[in-house]
Amino acid sequence: MIELIEVAERARTGPRLEEMEWNMMLFRKMQELIKEYDLRCRGVEEFINTDDSLADDAFRAACDFIVDVGAYCISTNRVIHFDEAEVKKAVREAPKQVLMGEGKDARVFRQGQVDGLEPININPGHHAPFTEDLGSLVAKNFAQIPRTDFIEGFNLPAVDGRDIYGQPLEAYAAIREVAWMREGVRKAGRPGLAIVLYPITTRASSLIAPMNPQLGLRPTDGLLMSTLPDVKVEYDHITTAIVFSSYGYFAVNGSFGMAGGFCGGPEGALIEGIVRPIIGYMTYGDSLHYTGVEHLAYVMGERIILHPINWARSVVYQALCRNTNLIYMDWNITCSELCTETGLLENAIRSVEATVNGAALYAPRVSRAKMNAGQTPVEPEFMIEVSDATLKAKLKRAEAGKILQQIANQLRGRSPEKGKTTQECYDLVKHKPSPEYEAIYHQVKKTLSQHGLEFT
């Protein structure tokens, strides 16, 4: 694979381009590729894509994009170019599995299979904002979920009573974040569980600061180093990747395509959703990618948008599964808040869809998460149950698509439901949902059983 220092050099010496010029060119290029490969959205009957040749075409479009256009470095305003051989080599050489954690808590995180039958890998949280007083307690609760393969850190607004502002406090907060996570997983009896640093900021100093095999990030831990929307990368992340590549790490890449951005609609976004994991691997050495396609309004928590976003997302997963070794994940976000029926139904759609597409399940969270109100252990536990029920029912893409259409019909016309904070609906001391949330949970499970899922 192309060396990271070579990537850094290209980011410094590649052709200069203004960011807006890149953005506009991105839009034009995506339109051109959509036409060339006939990637138009399919009807609602294809809630999940079942056309393998379309997935392969989407993959080819993504490779063409990388070879013809490359990636844009926002720190240097330069374009990083790759040739076809480099892209093919990267795609071929990307690891199909990652070992993470240590001792009894070591896990193997694998690429899933479309229509597969094996349980998929799980990250139950955080990737959410919590205040420092809850830090280690929240981490403990999520680490207590037995299927957890790794756990991600959280963001915090203040540390030791001080606002996190400026480089020194950011570095300190990052160190503290990992310290609380370590304490949390120890308290849960899983001292070797892999932790992923959730960046306090994307500055190299705060990403590198927690590197400490005794008290901080170990070589068996990871960090979130995402490519930016519109196929952009940053110098600080390349810097961080260079450091961690000789220390040991795995990196997670938030790399979904955004419908409504400069890539255009879902068709352009699905190309972006395939491009960004490849770029993440090539420029940062990322090995896990939560990707797919999202809609801007959904991510902002404004509207529950399903088809054709779900379809586009499934094309991304299938393209990556069929043509690469890249390990892809589905970020299980919901527009609705905690302790709501709508929220759990949104979660269920994602969980089924991810499972039949071979996507690992990643960090369920309210998409527009408020402080201490982004997640509880209920959502990941529910997500795992739904995924297992999908496997137990041996659902394939086509059948799963039909079930999801029914659930989508149930959600039609609903607005995102307002909910509760983490502590209002979950007892973090006793690791137990509130009676209200428990009742909603059982009710939604019953509904899903009626749709054909088989819960144990």
Partner 1 sequence: MISLLELAERAYRGPRMGEKEWDLGLFRKMQELVTAHKLAYSGPDRYLDVDDDYVDRAFRAAVAFLSEAGVYCISTNRVIHFDEEEVLDAVKSAPHEFVVGEGRDTRVVRKRETEDSRRVNVISGGHCPWPQDVASMAQTAYARVLRGDIIEGFNLAHIDGYEVHGLPLAVYAARREFAIMREAVRKAGRPGMAVTLYPILTKAGPLIAPIDPDTGLRRTDGLLLSVLPDMKVEADYLATAITYEGYGGYKVNGGCFSIIGGFCGGVEGAVIEAIAKGITAWMVYRDVFQYGGTVSGSRSLTARWTPAMEEKYRKAPTLQSPIWSTYVVQRALSRNTNIIRFGGIEGRAGIGGIGSEAELLSMARDVVANTVMGCNLVCTTGSNPTPYHVEFRARVADATVRARIKRDEVRGLMEKIDGLVTKMLRGVPLVDYGDRRMLAYKDFESYFAPMREMYDFPAQKPSKVLVANATKAGTMLADLGLDLEAAATRL
Pick between residue 238 and residue 348 the one whose CB is nearest to partner 1. Answer: 238
**Closest to 123 measured CA to CA, from 48, 60, 64, 181:** 181
- Which DSSP string corresponds to 100-113? ES-GGG-EEEE---
Residues 250-309 touching partner 1, rule: CB under 8 A, are none
Conformation bin of residue 378: beta by default, left when phi > 0, alpha when psi is -120 to 50: alpha
Both structure tokens of 14: 């590649």
- And the tokens for 383? 């997500």
Which residue, 159 or 315, has its beta carbon nearer to partner 1?
A: 159
134 binds partner 1 (CB under 8 A): no
* CB of 204 vs partner 1, minimal distance in Å: 4
Q: How far is the CB of 6 from partner 1 (least distance, A)?
A: 8
Query: How far apart (Å, rounded) are the C-alpha atoms in residues 326 and 317?
Result: 10
Beta carbon nearer to partner 1, 93 or 163: 163
Q: How many residues bind partner 1 (CB under 8 A)?
A: 41
Residue 455 interacts with partner 1 (CB under 8 A): yes or no: no
Residue 386 touching partner 1 (CB under 8 A): no
Q: Which is nearer to partner 1, 279 or 407 (CB)?
A: 279
Contact letters for partner 1, residues 191-230 (x by CB under 8 A):
------------xxxx-xx-xxxxx---------------
Q: Is 9 in the site for partner 1 (CB under 8 A)?
A: yes
CA dist list (Å): 163 to 156, 168, 173, 309:
9, 11, 10, 38
Q: Which of 1, 2, 12, 131 binds partner 1 (CB under 8 A)?
A: 12
Based on the shown chain and the rule CB under 8 A, indicate whether residue 16 belongs to the binding site for partner 1.
no
Residue 319's φ and ψ, nearest 5 degrees, are: -60, -45
- Distance (Å, whole) CA 422 – CA 374: 7
Using CB under 8 A as the binding rule, the residues of this chain from 228 to 247 that contact partner 1 are 235-236, 238-240, 242-243, 246-247
In sequence order, which ranges of 134-166 are alpha helices (DSSP H)? 135-143
- Between residues 210 and 265, which has the closer beta carbon with respect to partner 1? 210
Three-state DSSP class for 406? Answer: helix
Phi-psi region of 372 (alpha: psi -120 to 50; beta: other; left: phi over 0): left
| The one-letter amino acid at 283 | T
Torsion of CA 251, 257, 260, 265, to 10 degrees: 180
Phi/psi for 167 (5° steps) reads: -55, -45
Instruction: Build a one-symbol-per-residue string for 137-176: x at contacts with partner 1 by CB under 8 A, - elsewhere.
Output: ----------------------xx-xx-xxxxxxxx--x-
Least distance from partner 1 to the Cβ atom of residue 63, Å? 25
Distance of CA 398 to the CA centre of its chain: 24
Q: Which residues, in sequence order, are CB contacts of 162 under 8 Å at separation 6+?
A: 169
Nearer to partner 1, 34 or 241 (CB): 241
Stretch that binds partner 1, among 6-14, 54-62, 289-297, 406-414 (CB under 8 A): 6-14
Nearer to partner 1, 27 or 235 (CB): 235
Of 389, 377, 362, the C-alpha closest to 423 is 377
Q: What is the distance between the alpha carbons of residues 66 and 97, in angstroms, rounded to a whole number?
A: 24
Site pattern 74..103 for partner 1 (x: CB under 8 A): --x---------------------------
Shortest reach from residue 289's CB to partner 1, in Å: 21
Does position 15 interact with partner 1 (CB under 8 A)? The reply is: no
Which residues would be at the binding site for partner 1 (CB under 8 A)? 4-5, 7-9, 11-12, 76, 159-160, 162-163, 165-172, 175, 203-206, 208-209, 211-215, 235-236, 238-240, 242-243, 246-247
